[in-house]
């Protein structure tokens, strides 16, 4: 009787075991994992990377930053070139000479011709645009 009650008690207290299929999913998105893991994995890899490229550009160096005078000179050159291009619609030829290049612009019968000479290398470029007469009618 004790054995029977013990078996009956054990069977009532035992729970049913439940199991499911085991599935494997990659973590790395390169191998089919969740794409949202990509930025996390990249930041972890960069945090662990101690290699510094000796040929890499140094963004913290101030030697390559243009000075205020260089910025001002560039702005003035851009404005002068813009004024020169603005005069083309009226048919006025123009010339801009800087330390780096020479720009000659002329309008002949509705055809814009721009010659650009690089003073350091001596190379020349010519740009020709037709149909300028429709622009000059404004």
* Domain range enclosing 116: 93-138
Tell me the pLDDT tens digit for each residue of 74-133. 899 888 888 887 777 676 788 888 888 898 988 877 788 889 999 999 999 998 888 765
What span, in angstroms and rounded, lies between the C-alpha atoms of 2 and 134? 112
Residue 24 lies in a domain: no
**Mean pLDDT, residues 33-39 taken together:** 89
Can you give the pLDDT at residue 57?
75
Domain count, the chain: 1
Can you give the pLDDT at residue 124?
93
Residue 99 lies in a domain: yes
| % of the chain beyond a pLDDT of 90 | 12
Can you give the pLDDT at residue 125?
92
Residue 127 lies in a domain: yes
């Amino acid at each position: 009787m004790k054995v029977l009650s013990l078996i009956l008690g054990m069977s009532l207290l035992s729970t049913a075991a439940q199991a499911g299929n085991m599935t494997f999913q990659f973590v790395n998105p390169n191998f089919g994992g969740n794409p949202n893991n990509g930025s996390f994995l990249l930041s972890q890899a960069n945090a662990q990377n101690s290699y510094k490229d000796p040929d890499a550009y140094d963004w913290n160096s101030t030697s390559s930053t243009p000075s205020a005078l260089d910025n001002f000179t560039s702005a003035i050159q851009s404005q002068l070139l813009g004024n020169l291009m603005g005069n083309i619609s009226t048919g006025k030829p123009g010339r801009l000479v800087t330390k780096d290049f020479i720009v000659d612009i002329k309008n002949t019968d509705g055809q814009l011709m721009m010659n650009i000479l690089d003073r350091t290398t001596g190379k020349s470029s010519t740009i020709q645009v037709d149909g300028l007469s429709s622009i000059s009618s404004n």
